[in-house]
Amino acid sequence: MLDKIANLKAEIEALAASTPQEVEALRIKYLSKKGEVSALMADFRNVAADRKKEVGMAINALKMLATDKINSLKAATEQADTLDDTLDLSRSASPVALGTRHPLSLVRDEIVNIFSRLGFTVAEGPEIEDDWHVFSSLNFAEDHPARDMQDTFFIGRNPDVLLRTHTSSVQSRVMEHTQPPIRIVCPGRVYRNEAISARAHCFFHQVEALYVDKNVSFADLKQTLLYFAREMFGPDTAIRLRPSYFPFTEPSAEMDISCNLCGGKGCGFCKHTGWVEILGCGMVDPNVLDACGIDSKVYSGFALGMGIERIANLKYRVNDLRLFSENDVRFLKEFTHAH
79-88, 112-121, 214-223, 278-287: least confident range: 79-88
- What's the average model confidence in pLDDT over 194-198? 81
- Choose between 177 and 47: higher pLDDT: 177
Answer yes or no: do 79 and 134 share one domain: no
210 vs 175: CA distance, rounded Å = 10
User: 92 in a domain, yes or no?
Assistant: no
Phi, psi of 234 (to 5 degrees): 120, 155
pLDDT confidence bin for 53, thresholds 50/70/90 = confident
pLDDT of residue 80: 64
- Model confidence pLDDT, tens digit, residues 111-123: 999 999 999 999 9
pLDDT of residue 133: 92
Answer yes or no: do 75 and 140 share one domain: no
Answer yes or no: do 119 and 196 share one domain: yes
Please tell me whether residue 133 adopts helix, strand or coil conformation.
Answer: helix
Residue 162 has pLDDT above 80, yes or no: yes
Answer yes or no: do 9 and 111 share one domain: no
- Choose between 4 and 287: higher pLDDT: 287
**Strand pairing report for 161-163 and 239-246:** unpaired
Q: Is there a contact between 19 and 73 (Cβ–Cβ < 8 Å)?
A: no
pLDDT confidence bin for 338, thresholds 50/70/90 = low
Answer yes or no: do 120 and 262 share one domain: yes
| Residue 60 domain boundaries | 2-85
Mean pLDDT, rounded, of the chain: 86
Beta strands in 125-202 (DSSP E): 128-130, 161-163, 182-191
Residue 173 has pLDDT above 90, yes or no: yes
Answer yes or no: do 60 and 163 share one domain: no
pLDDT of residue 149: 62
- What's the average model confidence in pLDDT over 57-84? 77
Answer yes or no: do 140 and 11 share one domain: no
pTM of the model as a whole: 0.68
61 vs 46: CA distance, rounded Å = 19
- Model confidence pLDDT, tens digit, residues 305-335: 999 998 988 888 887 888 888 888 888 888 8
One-letter amino acid of 306: M
User: 70 in a domain, yes or no?
Assistant: yes
- Model confidence pLDDT, tens digit, residues 75-94: 887 776 555 566 777 777 77
Residue partners of 309: CB distance under 8 A and separation at least 6: 104, 201, 204, 205, 318, 321, 324
User: 97 in a domain, yes or no?
Assistant: no
pLDDT confidence bin for 226, thresholds 50/70/90 = very high
Residue 100 has pLDDT above 70, yes or no: yes
- Choose between 79 and 171: higher pLDDT: 171
pLDDT of residue 83: 53
Q: How many domains does the chain have?
A: 2
